[in-house]
């Protein structure tokens, strides 16, 4: 009967969870094995999609001859420059709009209109304005990443609990102290979410801009490989983009854990 059912021991529950965790690894490995079998049996042509073995061989060759490291540094440099501009521009505009009613009237409406423009549609204009060198590539990354930072910082500032503002006024904090000790710390969680989103957007834009009149970078490698139907190198480029996005996201998470250590919710309940 149900009333006499014995509770499941903790060890059994742990073993059950561990077995389910293995499924997370088993299913991608099964897909990888199926991919390799399909390529080996000729079901999928190497001109259509290279096999995992070919991809690994090409990755090893690019690492050994230094080609991957050289182009990877170029791609990282573009993202770092674009993100630095976006953080300064987006953060500054958000502070002006969030901390001042006049700033909101002057800044928020244009930003809301500009953020709806498709960034990729700006490529011809940026080439006309800045040429075909590094400047338009970095500028496009900066523009795309600015809006997530602006929106989240602005929302974080405007979403500060009014009770905190009232307490600060009761203890007679100056406006500078109010911004520094109350508003900015309260807006930080939202700002870090925007940073994570902006980093993801920057990688997406990088994939496109590095295939436009580029002579270096991971996107250039992929574009060059496409001309010679080297799907193995194209897959390597996609894997590099994915790995870089994951690594940067982990770094932002660690930064979030460090800066928001005062938030009990960050520690979780388990």
DSSP per-residue string spanning the chain:
-GGGPPPPPHHHHHHHHHHHHHHHHHHHHHHHHHHHHHHHTTSS-TTTS--HHHHHHHHHHHHHTTHHHHHHHHHHHHHHHHHHHHHHHHHHHHHHHHH-HHHIIIIIHHHHHHTTS-GGGGHHHHHHHH-SSHHHHHHHHHHHHHHHHHHHHHHHHHTS-HHHHHHHHHTT--HHHHIIIIIHHHHHHHHHHHHHHHHHHHHHHHHHHTTSS-SSSHHHHHHHHHHTT-HHHHHHHHHHHHHHHHHHHHHHHHHHHHHTTT-GGGG---
Average pLDDT over residues 257-262: 72
The pLDDT assigned to 84 comes to 94
Average pLDDT over residues 172-196: 78
The pLDDT assigned to 8 comes to 52
Q: Between these two residues, 268 and 166, which has the higher pLDDT value?
A: 166
> Among residues of the chain, what percentage have pLDDT more than 70?
82
List domains and CATH numbers for the chain: 52-261 (1.10.3720.10)
| 58, pLDDT greater than 80 | yes
What pTM was estimated for this model as a whole?
0.75
Cβ atoms of 150 and 201 within 8 Å: the answer is no
Average pLDDT over residues 134-157: 90
The pLDDT assigned to 141 comes to 92
| 33, pLDDT greater than 50 | yes
- Banded model confidence at residue 269, pLDDT cuts 50, 70, 90: very low
Q: Between these two residues, 163 and 146, which has the higher pLDDT value?
A: 146
The pLDDT assigned to 4 comes to 54
Average pLDDT over residues 48-74: 85
The pLDDT assigned to 88 comes to 94
- Banded model confidence at residue 246, pLDDT cuts 50, 70, 90: confident
- Banded model confidence at residue 185, pLDDT cuts 50, 70, 90: confident
The pLDDT assigned to 17 comes to 47
Average pLDDT over residues 150-176: 77
Greatest mean pLDDT among 87-96, 165-174, 215-224 = 87-96
Q: What is the average pLDDT score of the chain?
A: 79
């Amino acid at each position: 009967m149900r009333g006499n059912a014995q509770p499941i021991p903790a060890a059994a529950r742990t073993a059950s969870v561990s077995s389910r965790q293995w499924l997370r690894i088993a299913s991608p490995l099964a897909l990888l094995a199926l991919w390799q079998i399909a390529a080996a049996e000729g079901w999928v042509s190497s001109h259509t999609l290279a096999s995992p073995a070919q991809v690994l061989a090409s990755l090893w060759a690019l690492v050994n001859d230094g080609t991957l490291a050289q182009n990877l540094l170029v791609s990282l440099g573009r993202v770092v420059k674009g993100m630095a501009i976006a953080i300064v521009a987006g953060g500054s505009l958000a502070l002006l709009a969030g901390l001042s009613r006049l700033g909101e009237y002057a800044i928020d409406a244009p930003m809301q209109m500009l953020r709806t423009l498709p960034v990729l549609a700006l490529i011809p204009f940026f080439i006309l304005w800045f040429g075909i060198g590094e400047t338009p590539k970095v500028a496009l990354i900066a523009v795309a990443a600015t809006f997530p930072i602006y929106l989240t910082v602005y929302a974080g500032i405007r979403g500060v609990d009014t009770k905190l503002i009232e307490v600060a006024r009761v203890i007679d904090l100056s406006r500078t102290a109010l911004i520094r000790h109350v508003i900015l710390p309260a807006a930080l969680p939202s700002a870090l979410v925007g940073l994570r989103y902006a980093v993801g957007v920057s990688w997406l834009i990088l994939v496109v801009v590095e295939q436009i009149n580029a002579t270096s970078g991971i996107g250039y490698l992929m574009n060059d490989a496409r001309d010679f139907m080297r799907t193995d190198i194209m897959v390597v480029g996609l894997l590099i983009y994915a790995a870089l996005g994951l690594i940067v996201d982990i770094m932002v998470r660690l930064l979030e854990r460090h800066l928001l250590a005062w938030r009990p919710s960050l520690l979780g309940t388990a």
